[in-house]
Amino acid sequence: STGSVSASPESYDESYLIPVSIGGTTFHLDLDTGSSDLWVFSTQQPASQRSGHTAYKQTGTKKSGYTWNISYGDGSGAKGDVYVDKVVVGGVTATSQAVEAATSVSSSFTSDTDNDGLIGAAFSSINTVSPQQQLTFFDNVKNSLSQKLFAARLRYHTAGTYDYGYIDSSKYSGSIHYVPVNTANGFWEFTASGVSGSSIADTGTTLLYIPDSNVDAYYANVDSASYDSSQGGYTFDCDESLPDWTVTIGSGSITVPGEYINFAPVSGNTCFGGIQSSDGIGFNIFGDIFLKATYTVFDQTQSSPRLGFAQG
Ligand SMILES: NCc1ccc(-c2ccco2)nc1
């Protein structure tokens, strides 16, 4: 089988949401290649906590005694219990998917009423369900796909796609260049030339986080840029045109247009940079600011997983 689903950006491309059918109800979920739980708002939460969200009414079979509890790098989190239900994404069906129903979520999820939960697409080794880890949607369907892969084509300020089971050559230019993936930490982890340390491809992170040295070198070419500790990152005048940022990954090169690196206004005519420091995180995060310049293939067709990058 193959399928494709639209990925619609929230304001300022903060995150990209896809329609997912669970037990016949459509939820708008953040497909997150940086985590491995599929969780949704549910009627088990206080009504005030789920106001404005589509909530799961436990249509599936409860996995008695199973729980989950997840914390994300941005300080948000959620927890709850577990059901098994039919899940469909872009026409691709998992007949018995672990659906993690929330009993509580952090305030930033409650306030983001576009988002009804997350569908994780990292490796199942970091799924948080206890006492038995559960498989991601991709792991559940990959054997039924024409090719064991999915591909992300996020776009700047407009809807993109996630393709399942096939590569759409109309969505990129040049060639796809592949690099090996280290799965030891459960992420789509790879090495980028000229960017020290390990990097992860993370659709669920908004910005591009790279080492201080790379960040400082980038903003040295932005006259109005400075590090603003009150904002927690580099800011600049919204009207200043920004340089492109180019990186070599394997035998291929990807260029992020400068326009994409103006993330959003933070106050008046001051804007927050899409490139920020990864110092303190433990690895670099190639989030949406980077991914929206690419066609990225999350590939398990070989004996070892690999990532493919092409210019979008
Ligand atoms: N990188 C995982 C992730 C994704 C989304 C969110 C989030 C918080 C509020 C709304 O969305 N947090 C973490």
What is this model's ipTM?
A: 0.94
* 102-129 tens-digit pLDDT: 999 999 999 999 999 999 999 999 999 9
Say how far apart CA 257 and CA 268 lie, in whole Å.
24
The model's pLDDT over 208-224, given as tens digits with 9 standing for 90+, comes to 999 999 999 999 999 99
Contact between 286 and 278 under an 8 Å Cβ cutoff? The reply is: no
Q: Which strand (E) or helix (H) includes residue 93?
A: strand 92-105
CA of 29 to the centre of ligand 1 (A): 10
Cα 222 to the center of its chain, rounded Å: 28
- Is-contact 160 152, C-beta < 8 A? yes
According to the model, what pLDDT value does residue 122 have? Answer: 99
Q: Which of 106, 109, 202, 283 to mutate to test the pocket of ligand 1 (most atoms within 8 A of CB)?
A: 109
CB-count exposure of residue 88 (10 Å: 0-12, 13-18, 19+): buried
* Ligand 1 contact, 10 CB (< 6 A): no
Tell me how far apart the alpha carbons of residues 18 and 21 are, in angstroms, rounded to a whole number: 10
Could you tell me if the CB of 205 is within 6 A of ligand 1?
yes
Looking at the CA of residue 205, tell me the nearest atom of ligand 1: 1
- Tell me which residue of 242, 244, 219, 233 sits closest to 281, measured CA to CA: 233
Instruction: Determine the residue type at 72.
Output: Y
Partner residues linked to 245 by β-bridges: 256
Whether 270 and 235 have beta carbons less than 8 Å apart is answered as: yes
Ligand 1 binding pocket includes 11 (Cβ within 6 Å): no
Mutation test residue for ligand 1: of 74, 203, 208, 286, the one with most atoms within 8 Å of CB: 74
Helical spans, DSSP H, in the chain? 107-111, 137-141, 212-219, 288-291
CA distances from 234 to 126, 199, 275 (A): 32, 21, 8
The percent of the chain in helix, strand and coil, each rounded to the nearest 5, is 15, 45, 40
pLDDT in tens, 191-202: 999 999 999 999
35 CA closest ligand 1 atom index: 2
Predicted pLDDT of residue 78 = 99
Calculate how far, in angstroms, residue 206's C-alpha sits from the geometric centre of ligand 1: 9
List the one residue out of 112, 68, 120, 89 whose CA is nearest residue 22: 89
CA angle 227, 232, 238 (to 5 degrees): 60
Provide CB contacts within 8 A for 211, sequence distance 6+. 195, 196, 197, 277, 278, 279, 284
32 lines ligand 1 (CB under 6 A): yes
- Could you read off the pLDDT of 263-282 as tens digits, one per residue? 999 999 999 999 999 999 99
- pTM equals 0.99
DSSP label at 213? H
pLDDT tens digit at each of 312 positions of the chain: 999 999 999 999 999 999 999 999 999 999 999 999 999 999 999 999 999 999 999 999 999 999 999 999 999 999 999 999 999 999 999 999 999 999 999 999 999 999 999 999 999 999 999 999 999 999 999 999 999 999 999 999 999 999 999 999 999 999 999 999 999 999 999 999 999 999 999 999 999 999 999 999 999 999 999 999 999 999 999 999 999 999 999 999 999 999 999 999 999 999 999 999 999 999 999 999 999 999 999 999 999 999 999 999
Average pLDDT along the chain: 99
Q: Look up tokens 């005048």; give the residue.
A: 237
- Measure the CA–CA gap between 275 and 26, rounded to whole angstroms: 34
Q: What are phi and psi of 147, to 5 degrees?
A: -135, 140
pLDDT score, position 283: 98
Which residues are tagged catalytic?
32, 202
Position 221: which residue type? Answer: N
Which residue's CA is the nearest one to ligand 1's atom 3? Answer: 204
**Which residue in this structure is represented by tokens 């919204």?**
238
pLDDT of residue 266: 98
Nearest to 31 by CA among 143, 134, 127, 161: 161
**Phi-psi region at 194: left, alpha or beta (left = phi > 0; alpha = psi -120 to 50):** left
User: If DSSP codes are grouped into helix, strand and coil, which group holds residue 292?
Assistant: coil
